[in-house]
Amino acid sequence: MKQLIGFLLLLLFFASCETDGYEGTEENNNARPLVFYSLVAEKDTLTAGETTKITAMATGYDLTYGWSATEGSILGSGNEITYAACSCQAGTNIITCTVSDRSNASESKEVSIVIH
């Protein structure tokens, strides 16, 4: 009986040490789904010629980031860029980030920046 209880406790211990299946090998990392959590600007209102940092938060495998803006300039690349407001364009500008993974899955988000 003691051996049976010991065996069950040992089995319970090893069963509690399982991973979520996404860690370790490249094959498992390739299976990690793309999730685009957020797109956040440090400032959502700028004066003409001013800049703000914009950060995309996403998880997945081998991610790439594409950026565009209705007006103004995108400076940098990757998951964090600087947006520079055009000195001659007042109003609301939309900055779009598209995140893609190795399997060509993609998600997009937008953030609005008001220029005075």
Q: What is the pLDDT of residues 30-45, one digit of tens each?
A: 568 999 999 999 999 9
State which amino acid sits at residue 41.
A
Residue 77 falls inside a structural domain: yes
pLDDT at residue 32, rounded to an integer: 87
Task: Output the domain CATH number for residue 79.
Answer: 2.60.40.1080
Residue 23 falls inside a structural domain: no
Pair type for strands 45-46 and 106-115? parallel
pLDDT at residue 27, rounded to an integer: 53
Residue 98 falls inside a structural domain: yes
Residue 7 falls inside a structural domain: no
Query: Which residue range(s) make up the domain with 65?
Result: 33-115
Greatest Cα pair distance in the chain: 83
pLDDT at residue 86, rounded to an integer: 87
Query: Which of 7-11, 19-23, 76-80: highest mean pLDDT?
Result: 76-80
pLDDT at residue 88, rounded to an integer: 82
Chain position carrying tokens 């685009």? 36
Q: Taking the alpha carbons of 43, 80, 111, 50 in that order, is the dihedral positive or negative?
A: positive
Residue 65 falls inside a structural domain: yes
If one counts the domains in the chain, the total is 1
Residue 21 falls inside a structural domain: no
